[in-house]
Amino acid sequence: MSTIGSDEPASGQAGLPLPWLAEPLRQTLATRRGHALLIHGPGAVGQFELALALAQAWLCEQTSLALLERPCGACAACRLVAARSHPDLLVLVPEALRESLGWSGDAGEGEDERESSKKKPSKDIRIEAIRAAIAFATTTSARGRGKLIVVHPAERMNPAAANAFLKTLEEPAGDSRFLLCSAAADALAATIRSRCQDVALIVPPPALAEAWLAARGVAEPGVLLAGCGGRPQEALDWAESGVDATAWRALPGRVARGDASALRGWPLARVVDALQKLCHDAAALACGAQPRYFPAASLSSGAGVPSLLAWNRELTRLAVDVEHPWSADLAVESLVERSREALKTPRSAAREGEGLSLNSGR
């Protein structure tokens, strides 16, 4: 599986929202000519933004520029893509993501129905949306440069939708191209993956990501970036939801004191993720290695590796079940208490395989 690098400076293309996508965009335009691309990689590194930039480049009408220099950002087609109203671009995203991505008008399957019944917005891409996309793909291009369908995140196609989509990939309509975005490509059916050309994104160079975060007002961006495993859009999400570098740095100490207020109000998935990272770093420190997610000075050493391994196993089991409708406050208190135990258990007192049972409040 080839990896598209992202360590060269931006050049040429206009309107790229994420500077580290310049080189992946150029490489993809130069080397990927298939009718279906799968843009994948770790979460929050710009899969969706790259798909839109590719769509804009292919639809761009500034033909005095070479393809590798597009999108121009200024022609009528580029402006229509930027305004999210290009007639040859269809973006499929789950209802639950439409607002945050600003694609509320597209693929409105069941919208009225949902409005009237006040159902929770779906996290899936449903078969109705795929059927609409297939119909869209088979009509003639309105502006003559082909049709583009972006599916994000592709792993959210439910089984019926994925089946219908597979048939379209097997027998593509004339001048339509599909851009599938995924942060969990392993969750996609192998039959779909095998019919797509591969575009693998990696986390951007830290200097580029930190400059991008700093330009958005994030203080000490390196601390949050490390906390997010190098994924800048996630670091920005954290900053915008009130998790700053000071709070992140204080987290290990507060958890070690059993202070659940450090994590209260966070989505449960983020709580479990943060505790897994703390567990990882505590174990790294106990083994004499460098921590990865927290500044070394914010961590206290002394926890025994067997205790941390047992804790890690519990967190791993919980991580697959975080969508469960738990009582969030009870779960956080229970998790922090368990974490405090694990962090204070010294090497001599813990035995391999030992672990407390977790009362998660279910």
| Chain positions contacting Zn ion, by CB under 5 A | 60, 62, 71-72, 75, 78
Minimum distance from residue 73 beta carbon to Zn ion (Å): 6
| 72/203 with CB nearer Zn ion | 72
| 1/83 with CB nearer Zn ion | 83
Cβ–Cβ < 8 Å for 355, 311: yes
Torsion of CA 243, 244, 246, 248, to 10 degrees: 50
Minimum distance from residue 75 beta carbon to Zn ion (Å): 3
| 65/166 with CB nearer Zn ion | 65
CA atoms within 13 A on the CB side of 144: 3
**N-terminal to C-terminal alpha carbon distance within the chain:** 42
Minimum distance from residue 74 beta carbon to Zn ion (Å): 6
The CB-based long-range contact list for 258-267 (8 Å cut-off, 24+ gap) reads 258/336, 258/337, 258/340, 259/336, 260/332, 260/333, 260/336, 260/337, 262/336, 263/332, 263/335, 263/336, 264/329, 264/332, 266/332
Q: Are strands 197-200 and 176-182 parallel, antiparallel or unpaired?
A: unpaired
Q: Is 323 helix (H, G, I), strand (E, B) or coil?
A: coil
| Strand-pair partners of 157 | 125
Minimum distance from residue 174 beta carbon to Zn ion (Å): 23
Minimum distance from residue 16 beta carbon to Zn ion (Å): 13
| 72/342 with CB nearer Zn ion | 72
| 75/91 with CB nearer Zn ion | 75
Torsion of CA 73, 77, 83, 87, to 10 degrees: -160
Q: Is 153 helix (H, G, I), strand (E, B) or coil?
A: coil
Minimum distance from residue 12 beta carbon to Zn ion (Å): 12
| 74/207 with CB nearer Zn ion | 74
